[in-house]
Structure 1
Amino acid sequence: MNGTSESQQEASHMKIILNARTKLKLGFWNVRTMYEAGKQAQVLREMKENKLHILGISECRWTGFGKNLTNTGDTIIYSGRNDDKHQGGVAIILNKSSSKSLIEYNPVSERIITAILNTKPIKTSIIQVYSPTNEADKEIKIEFYEMLQAEIEKIPKKDLTIIMGDFNAKLRQDNSGFERIMGKHGCGIMNENEEHLVDFCGLNNRVIGGTLFRHKDVHKLTWVSPGGRDKNQIDHIAINESETVDEQWQEVEDLFKKTSEKILSFKRQKHKELIKQETWSLIDNRTELKKKICNTHSDRLKDRLRDQYSNCNKDVKKATRKDKKDFIEGLALEAEKAASEQRMGDLYQITKKLCCQKRNTNMPVKDKQGNLITSEREQENRWNEHFKEVLNRPEPETTANIPIAEHDLEVNIEIPSRSEIIKAVKSLKNNKAPGNDKLSAELFKSDPTLTANILHTPFKKIWNTHARQKLQKNASFIGLNINIKKSEVMPLNTTEPPLIDLNGTPLDCTSSFTYLGSIVTSERGAKTSEPE
């Protein structure tokens, strides 16, 4: 089957229905059939009453494939069988506004149809499916998921992908081992189709949305037997887990910042002025007298103004000396109060201000001959040269004699628990400068338990994500040479080799290494090495 697509010029002028300021409402429905009189009108009416932009249809029972425009301006794209048998079939209905964003669609089979929409900041791909029933042959199920996998691989990873429809899969409430894929609010007993769906979502980093949040059963049960005796949740929606570690940390950062601004607001630092407002008034008066002297042509009037200027200048100097004396006395009283209240930080700052000692932060960089270097490029090269000499030392002539460890080394390779995060948060020191995220330690320590609950999710993702490391780039910047032949990687909690390389050369894997006389293995064991 072949779908239709718009030209690149037409796609650039398409209306964008989804962005950061708009909401897109979509649904999916197994209508059992649309191949009967009046059924299409009923479906369109339900779609309008629920204010849906997009509606996915399973088991529409239309044959062939195509794109229809209804009397109400809605667009229906459908895909069915080619043998004139009115069985199966899937369709996607777009209302009048969202149909203008349709870039292309692909009728894959009577069980799968895809549509690509022009949305911002990324494009959206919608896949409507109708999975074989649980009683179907295993070969049919495998063929269905192979076709679905082929369509997933065609979609760019940066796009938002929505897979929805009738999967004929019952999802249980126990999500042990599948926490990243499904939630704890499924309905029913696990069947074979659930295994296929969970495996597919795990392979493609998809999350099954209908199980993540608590809802009433009446809102989750999507299939009712003709007699009304059996009810199941077999229709599901799965979206790509596109949120990266950086995005998760950005959410944490925004959460702490917005809460701090709302509850604590900004601390406005009040600086005591050395010169009081009355003295500034005298200074302004002296400036006006100076202007009058310059603009006056009469000698008699100039002499009178000069006398006034002289007296005013004496008053300014006298007031300035008094203000300085009062300022220093005020600082001394503050220092005395801070010392009595054991506020050593404030006492240090006041003492430094009284001593008038300013630290020169612009330290000069000199070459080996002692000549001053002013160019930033030359300074960077000099630092590079310095670290190369400091960090890359020649190998010692005699090998260090490291005694055998008396006790085995216990290495904890599990995901950091909430209790460990709480302990680490409580150990943070106060009054330390924050990092680039502008989050101080006091914010995290205000409620260590809540902080641990917030940080546990991104920490878990960091622990489980096998991301490519940028070791060589950071090492070469400071002049540190890493020997590829002497560097190995020991994978933990995974059967896949880690994706870590240096300058494009992948590092070899190892199952053990020696540390302080103990051999640490990937099976979380440590044993004492025998002396050679």
Structure 2
Amino acid sequence: MMDSEACWTDHRLIQSTMSIRLKRKRRLQKKLSRQRLNLETLNETATLQLFQASLGESLNQEYPEDIEEHWSLLKSSILDTCSATLGYKSRKHQDWFDENDTAIEQLISKKRETFRVWQNDITCKAMRQAHSRAKADVKSRVRQIKNSWWTERALEIQSLADSGDTRGFFSAIKAVYNPDHHGQNPLRSKDGQELLKENESINNRWREHFQELLNRDSTTQSDFLSHIPQSPIREDMGEPPTVAEVQDAISSLKNNKASGPDGIPVEVLKEGEPELQRHLHSLFLKVWEKEVFPGAQGRSDSDHFQERGQSELWKL
């Protein structure tokens, strides 16, 4: 097709058949969080006795020499028993609309009924006004229900804060707002020019930071060392931990704290009685002799600083 002097001849309609497929928007999958054990059932005598009896039956009497396999079997026995006897907590999100669903549904049904009657006689002015009053009443009553619900929640949370119940205070806030679980926060690179968003690069940056922070060269003058009072060497500190020391360490741990990477809460270790503590003691002896920490391989340095709960037991 050759161009001509007339402009309109350069524009012609083209008829074609096209097959267009819209790409579906991919929803971002939330990271599944670990289920939390229902530790409140340990306060019930029957459940506590069942837990202790089941734990005593599930614990192996003999373990392999490998520390990783030893800890894996022990951990599986503890978690399986907790899952079977204690169960898991169910998250209950509080919402003003769901809790007042019956009252709101009655108001909406009344408004729908007035609309149906008005539609049967569309020219009736009285029926139209009745429907308008029903709509206004629904909006007013729903607004009152919402304000009343939030007022009650605010008074409840304020009373928990005034009484010093920190745990109940944050639990009440989480039940109302239902916070989302996000991934790691992005970090700046060492030179500050790049924003790191990938998990691997973030972990490498934390590893680099702790290596520089904890492995600095220090210079000390020998004259200062000679003036420091020297305490006698305690040979007993080099002896392996005893069962009594393990029991004291477990009993000194605080309750209502987040569990470590293995998901075993402190309350389970305390209620496991001497039977579980003896099994832990045998594992500690292997760690003491072989100087190998279970699960230490394949973890970044930042993971060690984020451990909670049972990680304090390894300080023995």
How high is the TM-score relative to the length of structure 1? 0.34
Q: Tell me the alpha carbon deviations over residues 264-292 of structure 1, each in whole angstroms, 9 at most, x when there is no partner.
A: 33344444332221355269769989xx9
Quote the Cα distance in structure 1 between the aligned partners of 2:95 and 2:145.
13
1:332 CA drift (Å): 1.9
| Structure whose alpha-carbon radius of gyration is higher | 1
Quote the Cα distance in structure 1 between the aligned partners of 2:89 and 2:294.
39
Give yes or no for contact 1:279–1:320 (8 Å, CA) kept in 2.
no
Quote the Cα distance in structure 2 between the aligned partners of 1:253 and 1:431.
20
Match of 2:214 in 1: 391
Match of 1:256 in 2: 78
- Name the aligned partner's letter for residue 239 of structure 2: E
Q: Is 1:277 aligned with 2:277?
A: no
1:457 CA drift (Å): 2.6
Quote the Cα distance in structure 2 between the aligned partners of 1:416 and 1:278.
61
Q: Tell me the alpha carbon deviations over residues 108-152 of structure 1, each in whole angstroms, 9 at most, x when there is no partner.
A: xxxxxxxxxxxxxxxxxxxxxxxxxxxxxxxxxxxxxxxxxxxxx
Give yes or no for contact 1:422–1:448 (8 Å, CA) kept in 2.
no
Does the C-alpha gap of structure 1 residues 241 and 454 become closer, same or farther in structure 2, counting only changes over 3 Å?
closer
Q: Tell me the alpha carbon deviations over residues 240-278 of structure 1, each in whole angstroms, 9 at most, x when there is no partner.
A: 974633333233323333433444333444443322213
1:312 to 130, 135, 141: 135
1:454 CA drift (Å): 2.8
Match of 1:426 in 2: 251
2:238 to 413, 421, 430: 413
- Name the aligned partner's letter for residue 105 of structure 2: S
2:264 to 418, 432, 439: 439
Give yes or no for contact 1:286–1:313 (8 Å, CA) kept in 2.
no
Give yes or no for contact 1:286–1:309 (8 Å, CA) kept in 2.
no
1:244 to 56, 63, 66: 66
Q: Tell me the alpha carbon deviations over residues 218-242 of structure 1, each in whole angstroms, 9 at most, x when there is no partner.
A: xxxxxxxxxxxxxxxxxxxxxx974
When the two chains are superposed, the root-mean-square deviation of aligned CA atoms in Å is: 4.9
Quote the Cα distance in structure 1 between the aligned partners of 2:238 and 2:82.
34
1:322 CA drift (Å): 1.9
Q: Is 1:457 aligned with 2:282?
A: yes
Does the C-alpha gap of structure 1 residues 387 and 317 become closer, same or farther in structure 2, counting only changes over 3 Å?
farther
1:431 CA drift (Å): 0.7
- Name the aligned partner's letter for residue 273 of structure 1: D
SS in 1 for 2:96: coil
| Structure 1 or 2: more strand by fraction | 1
1:452 CA drift (Å): 1.7
Quote the Cα distance in structure 1 between the aligned partners of 2:193 and 2:133.
52
- Name the aligned partner's letter for residue 413 of structure 1: G
1:421 CA drift (Å): 1.0
For residues 210-229 of structure 1, the aligned pairs below 5 Å read none
- Name the aligned partner's letter for residue 251 of structure 1: L
SS in 2 for 1:412: helix
Q: Tell me the alpha carbon deviations over residues 464-511 of structure 1, each in whole angstroms, 9 at most, x when there is no partner.
A: 447699989768x67xxxxxxxxxxxxxxxxxxxxxxxxxxxxxxxxx
Does the C-alpha gap of structure 1 residues 468 and 360 become closer, same or farther in structure 2, counting only changes over 3 Å?
closer
Q: Is 1:322 aligned with 2:173?
A: no
Give yes or no for contact 2:160–2:168 (8 Å, CA) kept in 1.
no
Give yes or no for contact 2:111–2:131 (8 Å, CA) kept in 1.
no
For residues 52-451 of structure 1, the aligned pairs below 5 Å read 242=64, 244-275=66-97, 276-278=100-102, 281=105, 308=131, 311-312=134-135, 315-316=138-139, 318-333=141-156, 336=159, 343-350=165-172, 363-367=185-189, 368-369=191-192, 372-396=195-219, 398=221, 401-402=224-225, 403-451=228-276
Give yes or no for contact 2:93–2:175 (8 Å, CA) kept in 1.
no
Give yes or no for contact 1:416–1:460 (8 Å, CA) kept in 2.
yes
How high is the TM-score relative to the length of structure 2? 0.53
Quote the Cα distance in structure 2 between the aligned partners of 1:263 and 1:451.
16
Percentage of pairs with the same residue:
20
Match of 1:109 in 2: none
Match of 1:117 in 2: none
Does the C-alpha gap of structure 1 residues 379 and 420 become closer, same or farther in structure 2, counting only changes over 3 Å?
closer
Quote the Cα distance in structure 1 between the aligned partners of 2:268 and 2:128.
60
Q: Tell me the alpha carbon deviations over residues 396-418 of structure 1, each in whole angstroms, 9 at most, x when there is no partner.
A: 37568332413223443333221
Give yes or no for contact 1:249–1:458 (8 Å, CA) kept in 2.
yes
1:434 CA drift (Å): 0.7
SS in 2 for 1:246: helix
Structure 2 alignment gaps of length 5 or more:
1-60, 303-316
Does the C-alpha gap of structure 1 residues 337 and 387 become closer, same or farther in structure 2, counting only changes over 3 Å?
closer
Give yes or no for contact 2:67–2:294 (8 Å, CA) kept in 1.
no
Quote the Cα distance in structure 2 between the aligned partners of 1:470 and 1:264.
26
Quote the Cα distance in structure 2 between the aligned partners of 1:261 and 1:472.
27
For residues 11-50 of structure 1, the aligned pairs below 5 Å read none
Quote the Cα distance in structure 2 between the aligned partners of 1:472 and 1:443.
26
